[in-house]
Structure 1
Amino acid sequence: MFYAKSETKETIREHTDRLLDNWRLLKDSYGDRLIRVNERMWELLRLAIEYHDIGKANTVFQNKIRRAIQEELLETDCDANVPHNYLSVGLVPFEQLNLTKEEIRLLTHAIGYHHERDKRPDKEAIRDILENDLQKQREAIAHHMQLPLAEKLSFRFVDRLLKRYTIHDGKQFWDYVLLKGLLQRIDHAASAHLPVESDVHQDVGVYVRRYMENKSFHLNDLQRFTESHTHKNVIVIAQTGMGKTESALLWIDRDKAFFTLPLRVSINAIYERIRYQMGYEAAGLLHSTSAFYLAEREEENWEAIKQQSQQLSMKLLFTTVDQILKFPFYYRGFEKELASMANAKVVIDEIQAYDPKIAAMLIKSLEMIKKVGGRFMIMTATLPTLYLDELKRRSIIDEEDTVFGEFIDSQNHRHRIQLHDQEITEGIEDFVRMARSSQVLIIVNTVRRAMELYERLSEMASDVPVHLLHSQFTQEDRQWLERQIKEFNEAKTNGVWITTQLVEASIDIDFDYLFTEMSPLDSLFQRLGRCYRRRVIQGEQCNIHIFTQNVSGVPSVYDEHLVRESICLLKDYEGKILDERAKIELVAKLYERERLKGTSFLQEFEDALSMFDHLDPYEMSKKEAQRKLRDIQTVPVIPRRIYDGIADAIDEYRRCRDGGERLRFRMEIEKKTISVHRFLAEKCVSERLPKPFDHIYIADVEYDFDREMGKGTGIRFDTSLSVFY
């Protein structure tokens, strides 16, 4: 008996049979969708499955498992620890399988690298194990596996393994990506005792149509458009309130899909809506805090949802781009994520909301998805011309495979704008006056400016409720504030909320007046969507007030050139209605390549694309790719005072052995964190939390918030650092 797993005492043959079950499931469920996988490729995949773990029969590996399950150890003269995936290749009877030279290479690399190791193949160590251990057990292994094995050992396969595939191998590279990626998907699912694809017959299109019928909703032009182009790539520009989510789901229809959004709070909201309002239980959730969210929601089978989401087996997965679309980094093991796209559709919502580096990654990921046969949909309120031109230049979109649609309501107008050649702090008296009889929303570009306005308004307007929301509150306080702003808005209570760009796309609110600092047009127009979101403007009064002088966050948050050009483009609309078509046209003008020349925005975009185009596969690990992706992102910190209050919970977590209790403690600790810019963290942190929370830092800063009063400014840094937040 040869073991493959210690936890389940599963034999190599039993584990292999699990993979074959998943091979059949994948082929039967999505064989027609995997357009680049022909019958010969399916057979190569079957062979890769049969032989992928046969190297585990080596005595050193078997003794590791026997030690773990407390069985008697086997005698051996070999003590070299050679990765089993390299050994497996040496036992494949290539001469009996009637393979072409290229098929031999494909099979060699798929098996040899189905686990990525830091340790490169060592020919002498491999020779030692194969000759002095595995060859002696050849008959027993062949009997256990019910497979023919190589009769004569050859070690040329090691030289083949050392020469890895590159993108210069053309079609063969993409064949290898699919073969290896599908093998990894099937293997990982089988190891977790999960189906590689779940709920394959649960078509989301059926649920959407039923939901709309029950609500007496009729398909609009946008929804009919996407429903009629389910076999095409789709690019849709549509304003807020057009039912873009339903449109995307109708396009997905009966296919497997990955639905990406920029913000976790938006993802959670859509997931809830699809799963609970529409009753679609084949939906999964995958982002950095999805397990906490599911557990906190008291989702009955949250662990199963979490596992199947992580294995990418859910029929419809709501996720962030950093979880599934970072394969342009070609990190070791990228093939699994990319191969998952080959039988699926991918939705990218609001591509303009990403910074230029991430947008470059998304464009490169769409190029790679097209190579493996997947389909995509980009749906957005505004689409920068720069991105559209790049999609065309790379032939990612073309007339044959892609349809393009614009869906704008030209009849109903929501916004009349007024530009103020002033700093936003000069409008305080107007904010107070209007807040006595209306709901006023103020959006600024930095946390520091938001705090400043909050403190000044709180001092001078004792009769007006003043509230503050930004990113520098703890996770639990921020979530509480996000609920409060929605409840405030729904209750039609008069007062002021001061916020940052945090509310641009993530929170569904509809205020009477918006006062905002200038920002690039795509960001600005997202802000406008928080005012008169569901209403038509009447009369001549302006409901949008934009302050253009001494705006905060330039150039640390926004490119100065983009802000300046945005002001110029808006001049013609002073005191006038700014309709939805004008917004789309203005963003298109702002992001023309010619207008962007010399900007840091264009430089970052082009540098990122160039990097992705010239990366050598397998140079970095998945963790390194994640770090590179988040290089401009934030790090989690806990203010010292809050940490002192939860130190006991960390000790309890480390002592606890119950999985549910451990998760509860972990959630309590994570809730106390604040994501801050890496620069700020370096200036104020003193130490890390103990393991396993050593990704969180303790910050020696003040933290000001009173939940009962709903008052406070959140984390407070040294004012000399204010330019960064």
Structure 2
Amino acid sequence: MDLTLLNKMVLFAKSPQQGGLTLLAHTQQVADVISIMAGRHGFNRRLARIGALLHDLGKAHIFFQRTVKGEVGDDERIISEPHRHEISSLLFLPLFDKKDWPILIEMVAAHHKSALGDVRNRGLIDLVKRNGIDAMILRHAEHWEVWSAMVKPVVEHKDFKVKFRPIELDEAKTALLFAHDYCYRMKYGWSKWRGILMAADHFASEYMEKAAPLVRTFYQVPDLTYYSRKSDLHPLSLLRADHRSRHTFVIAPTGAGKTDFLLRRCRGRVVYTLPFQASINAMFVRIDENLNGKGEKRLPKEQQTDVRRAHAASKIQMRDEKGKWVEEEISLQRNPGASIKITTPHQIASIVFGISGHEAAKLDIAGCDVILDEVHVYDDMARAMMLELVRELVKLKCRVHIGTATIPTSLANELIKVLGGNRRVYRVTFGKRALEKFNRHEVEKLQDEEEALKTVEKAIDNQEKVLFVGNRVGTAQQRYEWAKKQFPNLNILLVHSRFRRGDRAVLEARISEFDKQKGPCLVIATQVVEVSLDISFDRLVTDAAPLDSLIQRFGRVNRRRTYDTIGKYQPVCVIAPSQTDKDVLPYNPDVVRRSYKMLPNGLLRESELQDLIDLVYGEVAIPSIDLHLAAGNSAPLRTLCHRPKSVLIDALEIEGALCVRQSDSKTYIDSFGEDRQNLEIPVPWRSIAPYARAWPRLETGSYPTVIPDDNYDMILGLVLKTAGGNQTVPTTNRII
């Protein structure tokens, strides 16, 4: 390439596949967003803006410009020394007052890569350790005299009003050396400045020219007076919510009004977490319609409460320096400053483990009201993680509100301790007399699948609305195919997590229609129906599961509390667990068998549930996960660093990967925000691992795996087949 031609070229920040933005346009967008965020968080706006100006100036480097324009082939990329644009950006530090350098370095030096311990050893400190300081500086200042002056139009743009001057190479090298030494001396902790730059950069990249107008509507405290409604049928609605205690812990039956009560306890912006990703849509619709109305009664856009969804992180697969496949998790903060953010504990648990984006997550959640609704924390690692999450939320001055229908007594006591003790927690439980009014289910124990199918047939003949729940997606799909043959004229619906998010929203709306209709119908589902779906059926037939999960499933039957339904009981039928452990997966086989054994064969009394839970789980053991914690004693995380991988996915055992159909690929690339999310199919990473080499990944958005259209059915959802047949690939994933 003729280097003199570079002076006539437009500098690009993004490839054509990522929007083709110029460096000036992207810098302006990041600066506009960070300026608003800085004001909301009490940061120095001037420093925030010049950090945004500096953060990508290194993209003017010749190698980056050739790369972004597609001029660097694979062979050249492999043999070339690594180049990181954020490191080249630090060469421009002399344009700014030296007293501002420490904050600017914190914003810029590691806004993509961990300064140390990057998964591909491309952080600033990593590169110096590998190649030496001289080689690192030489690579990132290569052809400095040619490209450094090209940033002048960006620096001197009226939006920034910074005076550009030529920087001698030695002065630039000295600045980069200073930046390296500053990063190297950083102690354990986290940088709020790195967090705000990463949040602004990600948000601006996602929404581009729409980013600043969007973020101006954020950071508003929601008006939750809607939830002050009262009813004798919902005892929690009669309790005052202005208790002086900072935190909340509610144990109450389904239908007691937990959701409304927890929302009434909130004073600021709200982060509402649910244990299942697949439940997010339903809760989003519920709260959005509560606060903003629907149909003709929907409020004008400018009067609406900002209710948003934040789906989970996506694993990025890449090769390390030796060509080995490695993974990195990125916590996607699509919605900084939302008035109400509905998400999963997985999304915010980056603050515990220190994976990429943990500073942005901490910055966004600090001081918020965090609702942990129906958190299933009985598996060892998930239990320990949840306790550490609560501990971190308390450090960030959040108000924590926990609501659950069931929880082992020993675990409840441990959570109260982490929250600061009884004086800091508004603890709400029901007495025996109040609980007896919530008796509504009669348990029928079934011996096997054959008896379960006959029970469904009989219920449909009796004109009942039936919910048939399985523990695995493959099981639910097989039961659906059986039901379509058995009841050709019946309304039947299949619901599980492995549908496109947009399709799931449609399915959930149809569940509501089934719920309201008269006459028989059949909904076949997985555990996704356990939480947040406000549905009520005449009968449940379900696979055996841990007792807490079964109680959640029971709550979908005879759910509506009216004066007429109190004292009336509906059947919940539980299939005996297999004596073969692998057939009981994804759950702990011993817990499932104890749960089935403890269930009565007859009326299930709410007043006895706590004793049953304690008998099933006993004294809850809390395993140590100190080694994995960002603030742990065993291996604390250095400032400006993040971990490439954590126990996060395995601890919560939820969908850790995303897929899109081949036919949706172009639309996914061309869209952003919720339009992209609606095309995504969440799936456990281990389920698609056998196809990792055969199926490509998109290098944009959440980096989804592209699946053949034949592997997605609009009725069955994602269908994963083994190489030799039509059997779906089994998974031991906890939440499917």
Relative to the length of structure 2, the TM-score reads: 0.68
Matched, 1:243 2:252: no
- SS of the residue corresponding to residue 688 of structure 1 reads coil
Could you tell me how far apart the structure 2 residues matched to 1:690 and 1:179 are?
31
| Matching residue within 419, 427, 430 for 1:404 | 427
Structure 1 pair 667–271 and aligned structure 2 pair: CA distance change class (3 A):
closer
Could you tell me how far apart the structure 2 residues matched to 1:680 and 1:17 are?
39
Stretches of structure 2 lacking an aligned partner (at least 5 in a row):
1-6, 15-20, 70-80, 115-121, 293-303, 315-331
Matched, 1:505 2:534: no
In the other structure, the counterpart of 2:705 is 695
Structure 1 pair 275–504 and aligned structure 2 pair: CA distance change class (3 A):
closer
Q: Which range moved further: 233-242 or 541-550?
A: 541-550
Between the aligned residues of both structures, percent identity stands at 21
Give the deviation of 1:477 after TM superposition. Answer: 7.4
* Letter in structure 1 aligned against 2:309: L
| Matching residue within 543, 559, 568 for 2:588 | 559
* Letter in structure 2 aligned against 1:258: V
Deviations 1:162-197 (A, max 9, x none): 24432xxxxxx2xx4334324544565677552796
Could you tell me how far apart the structure 2 residues matched to 1:566 and 1:189 are?
45
Length, aligned pairs only: 633
* Letter in structure 2 aligned against 1:544: V
In the other structure, the counterpart of 1:112 is 109
In the other structure, the counterpart of 2:72 is none
Could you tell me how far apart the structure 1 residues matched to 2:124 and 2:263 are?
44
In the other structure, the counterpart of 1:145 is 162
Structure 1 pair 381–326 and aligned structure 2 pair: CA distance change class (3 A):
same
User: Is the Cα contact below 8 Å between 1:227 and 1:251 reproduced in 2?
Assistant: yes
Structure 1 pair 404–346 and aligned structure 2 pair: CA distance change class (3 A):
same
* Letter in structure 2 aligned against 1:423: D
In the other structure, the counterpart of 1:544 is 572
* Letter in structure 2 aligned against 1:145: V
- SS of the residue corresponding to residue 705 of structure 2 reads coil
Q: How is 1:684-723 mapped onto 2 (pairs within 5 angstroms)?
A: 687-688=694-695, 695-698=705-708, 718=725
Q: How is 1:572-583 mapped onto 2 (pairs within 5 angstroms)?
A: 573-579=600-606, 581-583=607-609
- SS of the residue corresponding to residue 413 of structure 1 reads coil
Could you tell me how far apart the structure 1 residues matched to 2:693 and 2:111 are?
41
In the other structure, the counterpart of 1:413 is 438
User: Is the Cα contact below 8 Å between 1:90 and 1:157 reproduced in 2?
Assistant: no
In the other structure, the counterpart of 1:232 is 246
- SS of the residue corresponding to residue 552 of structure 2 reads helix
Could you tell me how far apart the structure 2 residues matched to 1:451 and 1:675 are?
15
Deviations 1:279-334 (A, max 9, x none): 233222222699xxxxxxxxxxxxxxxxx971413222222333333232312442
In the other structure, the counterpart of 1:617 is 637
Please report the RMSD computed on the Cα atoms of aligned residues, expressed in angstroms.
5.6
* Letter in structure 2 aligned against 1:161: C
Could you tell me how far apart the structure 2 residues matched to 1:522 and 1:4 are?
54
Matched, 1:321 2:345: yes
* Letter in structure 2 aligned against 1:241: G
Give the deviation of 1:680 after TM superposition. Answer: 7.5
Give the deviation of 1:110 after TM superposition. Answer: 4.9
Q: How is 1:317-716 mapped onto 2 (pairs within 5 angstroms)?
A: 317-352=341-376, 356-385=380-409, 387-392=411-416, 395-407=418-430, 409-420=434-445, 422-439=447-464, 440-447=466-473, 450=476, 465=490, 467=492, 469-471=494-496, 475=500, 482-494=508-520, 496-505=522-531, 507-535=533-561, 543-548=571-576, 550=578, 554-570=583-599, 573-579=600-606, 581-593=607-619, 606=623, 611-612=628-629, 613=632, 614=634, 616-617=636-637, 633=655, 649=663, 654=666, 659=670, 670=679, 675=683, 678-679=686-687, 682=690, 687-688=694-695, 695-698=705-708
Could you tell me how far apart the structure 2 residues matched to 1:311 and 1:488 are?
33
Give the deviation of 1:522 after TM superposition. Answer: 0.4
Give the deviation of 1:524 after TM superposition. Answer: 0.7
Structure 1 pair 199–231 and aligned structure 2 pair: CA distance change class (3 A):
farther
Deviations 1:500-520 (A, max 9, x none): 434323543322222333221
Deviations 1:433-474 (A, max 9, x none): 343224133334345555666677777x66994846353875
User: Is the Cα contact below 8 Å between 1:636 and 1:675 reproduced in 2?
Assistant: yes
In the other structure, the counterpart of 1:287 is 311
Could you tell me how far apart the structure 2 residues matched to 1:239 and 1:472 are?
25
In the other structure, the counterpart of 2:134 is 124
User: Is the Cα contact below 8 Å between 1:504 and 1:526 reproduced in 2?
Assistant: yes
Matched, 1:204 2:208: no
In the other structure, the counterpart of 1:39 is none
Stretches of structure 1 lacking an aligned partner (at least 5 in a row):
32-41, 70-78, 167-172, 291-307, 597-601, 639-645
Structure 1 pair 289–533 and aligned structure 2 pair: CA distance change class (3 A):
farther
* Letter in structure 2 aligned against 1:259: Y
Structure 1 pair 545–428 and aligned structure 2 pair: CA distance change class (3 A):
same
- SS of the residue corresponding to residue 369 of structure 2 reads strand
- SS of the residue corresponding to residue 377 of structure 1 reads strand
Structure 1 pair 516–423 and aligned structure 2 pair: CA distance change class (3 A):
same
Q: Quick one: higher RCO (CA 8 Å, sep 6+), 1 or 2?
A: 2
Deviations 1:86-107 (A, max 9, x none): 764984799985x9xxxx9777
* Letter in structure 2 aligned against 1:545: C
Could you tell me how far apart the structure 2 residues matched to 1:340 and 1:663 are?
19
Structure 1 pair 245–162 and aligned structure 2 pair: CA distance change class (3 A):
same
Relative to the length of structure 1, the TM-score reads: 0.68
Structure 1 pair 359–541 and aligned structure 2 pair: CA distance change class (3 A):
closer
Deviations 1:203-260 (A, max 9, x none): 423xx325766xx86996535657314871222223222333332332223x122222
User: Is the Cα contact below 8 Å between 1:233 and 1:402 reproduced in 2?
Assistant: yes
User: Is the Cα contact below 8 Å between 1:367 and 1:396 reproduced in 2?
Assistant: yes
Could you tell me how far apart the structure 2 residues matched to 1:541 and 1:210 are?
31
Matched, 1:275 2:300: no
Give the deviation of 1:491 after TM superposition. Answer: 1.6
Structure 1 pair 309–231 and aligned structure 2 pair: CA distance change class (3 A):
farther
Give the deviation of 1:716 after TM superposition. Answer: 7.2
Give the deviation of 1:533 after TM superposition. Answer: 0.8
Give the deviation of 1:59 after TM superposition. Answer: 10
Could you tell me how far apart the structure 2 residues matched to 1:85 and 1:13 are?
16
Deviations 1:127-159 (A, max 9, x none): 67899879x99xx98996379999996745523
Instruction: Say which structure is richer in helix.
Output: 1
